[in-house]
Amino acid sequence: MRRVRVDQARAAHAAKRGGHHQRVDLESGLAATPGPSVDLVALDEALDRLGAVDEDLARLVEWRFFAGLSVEEIADLSGRSVRTLKRHWQTARAFLYQELSAPDHAP
């Protein structure tokens, strides 16, 4: 799901053949699509850096952000406690905030 969304974002940034327009399947809907304020390409790069530091944190972000799973659902799937996952979610968010706020990633 992450790759699909990032590829869509890259295609939307392309200037060729009206690439600034985003195609959306009516069946897939827009409910799961992140808002326009999210730079998916920058997020993908930051997730790669997070994965190099801690793969579990990167996977947690993918499940929460791209799959739309709740912390409770992830706890059921992974066998980890909700409290641990909430702590990891906080750590991952702090890492990504710092990465995406860096001067070389500012819009």
Determine how many CB atoms are found less than 10 A away from the CB of residue 74. Answer: 19
Structure confidence at residue 29 (pLDDT)? 43
Whether the CA torsion 23, 26, 27, 28 is positive or negative: it is positive
Structure confidence at residue 17 (pLDDT)? 53
Structure confidence at residue 37 (pLDDT)? 63
Phi–psi pair at 85, nearest 5 degrees: -65, -35
Structure confidence at residue 22 (pLDDT)? 53
Q: Pull the structure tokens for residue 29.
A: 């809907």
Structure confidence at residue 102 (pLDDT)? 79
For the chain (length 107 residues), average pLDDT per consecutive 10? Answer: 73 58 47 59 92 96 91 94 96 93 68
Please tell me the distance from the alpha carbon of residue 51 to that of residue 46, in angstroms, as a whole number. 9
In 3-state terms the chain splits into helix, strand, coil percentages (rounded to 5) of: 65, 0, 35
Structure confidence at residue 28 (pLDDT)? 45
